[in-house]
Chains A and B, each alone.
Chain A
Amino acid sequence: MYAVPPMDAPVVDVRALRKVYRVTERETGLAATFRSFVRRRYREVLAVDGITFHIDPGEVVGFLGPNGAGKTTTLKMLSGLLYPTSGEATVLGHVPWRREGSFLRGMTLLMGNRSQLVWDIPAADSFLVLKEIYAIPDAQYRSTLDELTGLLELQPLLHKPVRGLSLGERMKVEFAAGLLHSPGVAFLDEPTLGLDISMQGRIRRFVAEYNQRSGATILLTSHYMDDVVALCRRVIVIHHGVLLYDGALADLAERMAPYKRIGVTLRGTVGDLSTFGEVVSSNENTATIHVPRAQAGERTARLVRELGDQLADISVEDPPIEEVIDKVFASERPLAEATA
């Protein structure tokens, strides 16, 4: 049912993929505008700088990076919309930018801010068009549509013109449209963008359930860390077009954040704790201290020893994933270079 390559081959295989955009550039003002008529200046923008990774069948991978990091450009190359400047990639055994029919029938790209449905007709009619375009057999079409209708609670939405749907409702039918042909690979670009908390949760549950039921491989970008934490055991972090991290989400903090977070609750008022580490917050009887990762054990023992009976509770944990990612994204140069 799903177009997946042999079990031992990665579904997505990316090697030294690079994309440079050539953009026109001119200074502001009327004189500069006239000058640009005569002599146009171009600037090269490096969007993706030689990234390499692969994704195995059935994996759900989070693709993280700040705005302009190169995530969407990468997804566009992997879905065949863009030609790379250099490098290689295969998806389901196909070179994406050759745009072969069997490749296009085996994958989908869903973008949270873009519509692929005809606005003037109900979604059910657009689905029938997609059924023929993807040559979906009748029985498979009915069962897939029934499954998607159940998972996404689509029944009340199917016969309304798409232009009359709310953003959340439209996103649900967009999901169904993108998955009707049962793709083996789904690239999801900000699928929960602009949705309220409740709808975000529904979409997350749907993606998880869809992955379990279908075995489809999913590469997901999102600025909502809740999406990533709920769906992805593995993340790939990209910044300034460079791949910074590729591994387990659980290990991200250990690799990217050189500190641990110690939370203390005291029986009395918090005094000066700066000798134990960087106090990042404190109020009357609680404080949070950042300590170097390698010294977390020794600093915790010192806190217990020196605070004695004053100490009501203590916890040692990695910083929250949002905080780790935020620090990585805030760095001007790639962290891989900074920590090398």
Chain B
Amino acid sequence: MIRIYRQLLIAQIQAAAQYRIQAVLWMLFSIIRPVIFLAAWTAVAAAQGGSVGAYTTSDFAAYYIALTIVGHLTTAWNSFEFEFEVRQGRLSPKLLRPLHPLHYSVVENLIWKVTTFLPLLLVCVVIALTFQVRWTGEWWHLALFVPSIVLAAALSFMIGWVVATSTFWLQRINTVNTLLQRTSFIFAGQIAPLSLMPTALQVVSYALPFAYVLAIPAEILRGGVTPERGLLYLAGQTVWLGLSIVAFQFAWRAGLREYSAVGA
């Protein structure tokens, strides 16, 4: 498998090299939303004497910069691509090979993140300087962040694949994707840090998987959690990842029975 991944990575780097501008533009688009919320919340904090709840202007900036980095590292667009592949008949050649189609997505996803991470960090440094960010974390926050971001990226990827398999039944899944994005927008800590949301929304957020993809790794990176709570969050991420893998395997097996190989 290592040899397969090595060769897929080489091929994907070659293919991605031809679309450099597009990759950087997508990366820049992903920054716009957190920056807007950062600007809004810092304005609110400034109007209220420098803080909202436990968040100072600097905390907001740290949170949204962390959220931008986490968002970049956990983004997964495989459900959009999967629908396109099914409709265009491009899934069939992959199904004919002794390698699960999921592996091609892993490589594409990794290459995009690696090739656009450096420019993203540069943009984040500029934002950090502009908003005078102060990082308040400890070394163990960074140690916790590593498994947390890996789990979050894997969870986001697997949720994407569960949604992708609905293409086998629905043919078009844009609405499913939109619903998922809107739900994530509310419950993943994009509008505000979870602790600033109404209690009921917080409860729902911790019960759904979306916060485990974005808000929780961002809070860990920002240094906003205790060690006990950080470990609890990792456990939550692991549970959701396990559930998403089981759901995917079930949906994939059932979906292949429905596959009509249209256009291929």
Contact = CB atoms under 8 A, between A and B. Distances in A.
Interface residues of A, number: 30
Contact of B4 (A79, A82, A133): A133
A126 interface: yes
B18 A120 contact: yes
A81 B95 contact: yes
B53 interface: no
Contacts of A126: 11
Given A114-B89, A114-B264, A133-B4, A80 B11 contact: no
Contacts of A145: none
Interface stretch (B77-85, B96-104, B196-204): B96-104
A105 B98 contact: yes
A48 B4 CA distance: 37
Interface stretch (B68-76, B114-122, B144-152, B253-261): B253-261
Interface string B86-97: 000100110111
B95 A128 contact: no
Nearest to A101: B98
A187 to B, nearest CB: 10
Given A79-B96, A83-B257, A121 B14 contact: yes
Given A81-B259, A82-B259, A128-B11, A133 B97 contact: yes
Nearest to B171: A24
Given A83-B257, A120-B15, A128-B11, A134 B96 contact: no
The DSSP consensus for interface residues of chain A is mixed
A108 B257 CA distance: 20
Interface in B52-69: none
Contact of A81 (B3, B6, B15, B96): B96
Given A114-B89, A121-B11, A125-B14, A82 B260 contact: yes
Given A21-B260, A120-B14, A109 B97 contact: no
B8 interface: yes
A321 to B, nearest CB: 29
B260 A114 contact: no
Contacts of B181: none
B239 interface: no
B98 A132 contact: no
Interface string B224-253: 000000000000000000000000000000
B95 A99 contact: yes
A118 B15 contact: yes
B15 A109 contact: no
B7 A132 contact: yes
B209 to A, nearest CB: 29
A118 B7 CA distance: 13
A76 B11 contact: no
B254 to A, nearest CB: 11
Contact of A133 (B14, B99, B257): B99
Nearest to B6: A132
A314 B188 CA distance: 87
A120 B19 CA distance: 10
Indicate the member of A81, A111, A128 with the most B CB atoms within 10 Å: A81
A69 to B, nearest CB: 17
A115 B97 contact: no
B10 interface: yes
Given A79-B96, A116-B93, A132 B4 contact: yes
A131 B6 CA distance: 12
Contacts of B15: 118, 120-121
Contact of A108 (B6, B96, B99): B96
Contacts of A129: 4, 7-8, 11
Contacts of B98: 101, 104-105, 133-134
A184 B6 CA distance: 27
A133 B259 CA distance: 23
Interface in B1-30: 3-4, 6-8, 10-11, 14-15, 18
A116 B96 contact: yes
A109 B92 CA distance: 10
Given A81-B92, A114-B92, A125 B11 contact: yes
Given A109-B96, A116-B96, A118-B11, 20 more contacts: A79-B96, A80-B95, A80-B96, A81-B95, A81-B259, A81-B264, A82-B260, A82-B261, A83-B256, A83-B259, A97-B256, A114-B92, A120-B18, A121-B15, A125-B10, A128-B11, A132-B6, A132-B8, A133-B98, A134-B97
13 contacts: A21-B260, A80-B96, A81-B92, A81-B264, A83-B259, A97-B256, A104-B98, A108-B96, A116-B93, A118-B11, A121-B14, A125-B11, A129-B7
Interface of A: 21, 76, 79-83, 97, 99, 101, 104-105, 108-109, 111, 114-116, 118, 120-121, 125-126, 128-134
A-B pairs, top 8 by smallest CB distance, nearest first, are: A116-B93, A104-B98, A120-B15, A101-B98, A132-B7, A132-B4, A81-B261, A121-B14
